[in-house]
Amino acid sequence: MIVDKTLTITQNGVPREVSVEEALQHRTYRDAIAGNRSARREVLKMIAKREQALAKLAPPPAYTVTTAQEEDPDNANAALLILGIACRDPTNYGPNDKYERLLLEPWAVQAALSRRRGGSKLDKKDIEDIRRCTRDPDGLR
């Protein structure tokens, strides 16, 4: 078959043997770089074909990506617990309480308060909410 034959080409002044297929690919790349639209389309097809072949050879990823379908407050709670930003609230809110309640760790609250912008003072209700949601509110500055 003609594609399996070899040709001698000169690249950067150095002669080398290449298959007809490789020589055609080099020519197509040069034409694409020079602005030939059909050559560009052909190069894009070659790239897509190569990426498909590489994807088949690649090992499966070591992780999976999932997307949340709906908001899950328990998932956020788990993250806060794992990161040590919050702890479980021991207060019993009753049988109709739908979610586990957490209290923020003082260090996390203090860090958030220190990063507030604008310099506006907290009003009395804000301060009450912060104290109510913090594990040890007396440790706050």
Neighbours of 51 (CB within 10 A): 10
Q: What digits encode the pLDDT tens for the residues 22-69?
A: 888 888 988 988 888 898 989 888 888 888 888 888 887 777 776 655
Neighbour count for residue 127 (Cβ, 10 Å): 13
| Helix or strand (DSSP H, E) at 82 | helix 73-82
| Per-residue confidence (pLDDT) for residue 104, from 0 to 100 | 92
Banded pLDDT at 103 (limits 50, 70, 90): very high
CA Rg, the chain, in Å?
A: 32
For residue 69, the number of C-alpha atoms closer than 13 Å in the C-beta half-sphere is 0
Local structure of residue 70 (DSSP, 8 states): S
Which amino acid, residue 73?
A: P
- Residues with Cβ < 8 Å from 31, sequence gap 6 or more? 39
* pLDDT, position 140: 81
User: How far separated are the first and last CA of the chain, in Å rounded?
Assistant: 83
Residue 122 has pLDDT above 70, yes or no: yes
Nearest-CA neighbor of 109 among 124, 91, 126? 126
CA distance 34 to 27: 10
125 pLDDT more than 60 = yes
pLDDT at 1: 66
pTM of the full predicted structure?
A: 0.45
